[in-house]
Structure 1
Amino acid sequence: MLLQAGHTDDARRGRWPSRALVCALLAAMPILAAAAGPACRKVVISADPKYPPLHWYDGTTLTGASVEIATRVFTRLGVRWELQYLGPWPRVLSAAEHGDVDVVTTLKDTPERRAFLEFTQPVLNNPIAVFVKVDYPINYFGRDSLIGRKGGLTRGNRFGEEADRFIRERLDVEELNDPLTGFRMLMAGRIDYFMTGLHAGRATLIEAGLEGRIVALAPYVAETGNAIGFVRHSPCRALVPAANRVLSEMAARGEIKQIVDRNLERWRQNPALPEG
């Protein structure tokens, strides 16, 4: 009874919250929890499996420059991560669109992709180049030079809003499974040119033994950078500002360029993708 009296006195003196306030706080807790959203406990990462040296599947795991950059970012943020190989690039994009992964690394920021991805700041400079046979008679002064010629690009590749619109409206291009197929068709004379990222194009020429027989032309079709895409419906989307801070630090130290150069050399030493 003395304890009960003591509590009653405290309440009267304003030391304890009123019953009405307690009830209001309890009622608000589910709303506050919903507003905070679920925590990002692990980041599931995927990437294009046939785009060396930025990202490729080596038969065991996803690897490459962009994969190394992304995993370093999450390691430094203290967030667990998992690499998930999903198959061809269109399947990776579909998985991101349906929320089956948390992050795609790295790709062009386009309106189409912005519907389901939030992008970091640009991470990698990946200009889009036109590749032709070294002896192909083309007076190239820019993408207008391609009008009326037959070209190719990799299915699912996007080069930036303005470049994509030009390609869609003005050029005759065939979508192919991967850059290696494109370069083989180029050598066979079935297409006049092939468009792809400069890094990936050079890596594929190494794989195919076609260095010196196919060359990249200047000026480039587009020079927009590649960024890491966070799935909008993922709780890990909240990491974008922190990821940008780490990426800025890595770029300032020259770390990103070192990673790209090292992975290009790794690919040069073993330029092979698994069959299928």
Structure 2
Amino acid sequence: MAVLIVFWQKTLQKRKLFCDLWLAFLLIGSQSIARAQCVDPVLSGPPVWPPYINAETDEGIRSGVAVDLISKILTNENISFEVDKAKPWNRVLKQFENGDIDILFTLLDTAERRSFALYTEYWVHDVYAIITKKSAAFSYSSIDDLKGRPGVMYHGVRLPPPLRQIPIDNQHFTTVNEAHLLHRMLRHGRVDYVLASVASFFDLIPEGFDPEEFHVLQSSAVRVPVYMAISKKSNCVDLLETINGKIRVLRDEVAQSLYAGKFVN
């Protein structure tokens, strides 16, 4: 009887090993098929969103954290690709919806976009917060703490709630059309705080400014997940899980590079 039990145990172990190997074979095979179908995909995104997407150079080169990340992922998969020229965002979305653009390297989530986009897992959080001078920091627990304090933001930025209510409620709030004015107004005491994407604010610090001059109030931080997406009309749809696997490995490294040392209580 004992011999029979041992025989069946070994048989089951062999069957499990065979099943594991077969599943691995299927996974490798499906990934190979996905790569074979995804030929020279066209990549795009918003025209500029620093530091995720930098302004296009005069030579037509696009760079930034998002561009570098998807380039690294596809290169590691031996997939050649084309980074599209910068163009108006509405045109990009339309071409993406039609399948003329295969992959967007940055996209925020909306129900409407999910009708034509296959979203990856989030690859970074774009953190919005109140930024002050280090020498003039103040405590913050709610937007009521900002009453009477002058503030500023870059015109046209879509703030997440509850921060988006601040410019509405505060009569001492203003907007500017040049990013460098945010840092200058804060440095010279013309405002008490800036509302901004933390990554963008520090990426755009003017020459001669020290990042250590500024404080991010962690209690005000709102994290907005940022995704990549594949057009549902693209031949690259089967690449989704491969991209997700790479994102899981790399996103902590991305967050560390963007936000290390930039938060205070």
- Answer yes or no: same fold by TM over 0.5: yes
The C-alpha deviation readout for 1:212-260, integer Å capped at 9, x for no partner, is: 4443222133123322133455443443233112222445xx65467x4
Q: Which residue of 2 aligns with 1:228?
A: 228
Q: Which residue of 1 aligns with 2:6?
A: none
Q: Indicate the percent of aligned positions where both proteins have the same amino acid.
A: 21
Q: TM-score, with normalisation over the residues of structure 1?
A: 0.59
Q: Which residue of 1 aligns with 2:34?
A: none
Q: Which residue of 2 aligns with 1:63?
A: 63
- The match for 1:95 among 78, 92, 97 is 92
- What is the aligned-residue RMSD (CA, Å)? 3.9
Shift of 1:82: 1.5
Taking the aligned partners of 1:146 and 1:114, their CA distance within structure 2 comes to 37
Q: TM-score, with normalisation over the residues of structure 2?
A: 0.61
Q: How many residues align?
A: 216
Taking the aligned partners of 1:124 and 1:151, their CA distance within structure 2 comes to 25
Q: Which residue of 1 aligns with 2:241?
A: 241
Q: Which residue of 1 aligns with 2:11?
A: none
Taking the aligned partners of 1:186 and 1:115, their CA distance within structure 2 comes to 42
Q: Which residue of 2 aligns with 1:9?
A: none
| 1:1-276 equivalent positions in 2, closer than 5 A | 40-48=38-46, 50-57=48-55, 59=57, 60=59, 61-86=61-86, 91-92=88-89, 94-99=91-96, 101-111=101-111, 114=114, 117-134=117-134, 136=136, 138-146=138-146, 150-153=151-154, 155-157=156-158, 159=160, 162-163=161-162, 166=165, 177=177, 179-187=179-187, 192-205=192-205, 207=207, 209-251=209-251, 256=254, 260=257
Give the secondary structure class of the aligned counterpart of 1:205: coil
The C-alpha deviation readout for 1:32-86, integer Å capped at 9, x for no partner, is: xxxxxxx543322234455444331362411122211111222233432212231
Taking the aligned partners of 2:241 and 2:247, their CA distance within structure 1 comes to 10
Q: Which has the larger radius of gyration?
A: 1
Taking the aligned partners of 2:109 and 2:50, their CA distance within structure 1 comes to 19
Give the secondary structure class of the aligned counterpart of 2:106: strand
Taking the aligned partners of 1:221 and 1:196, their CA distance within structure 2 comes to 10
Q: Which amino acid aligns with 1:245?
A: G
Gaps of 5+ in 2: 1-36, 261-265
Cα separation, partners in 2 of 1:164 and 1:220, compared to 1, 3 Å:
closer
Shift of 1:200: 2.0
* Structure 1 stretches of at least 4 aligned residues deviating more than 6 Å after TM superposition: none
Gaps of 5+ in 1: 1-38, 265-276
* Of 61-70 and 145-154, the range deviating more from structure 2: 145-154
Shift of 1:156: 5.0
Give the secondary structure class of the aligned counterpart of 2:109: coil
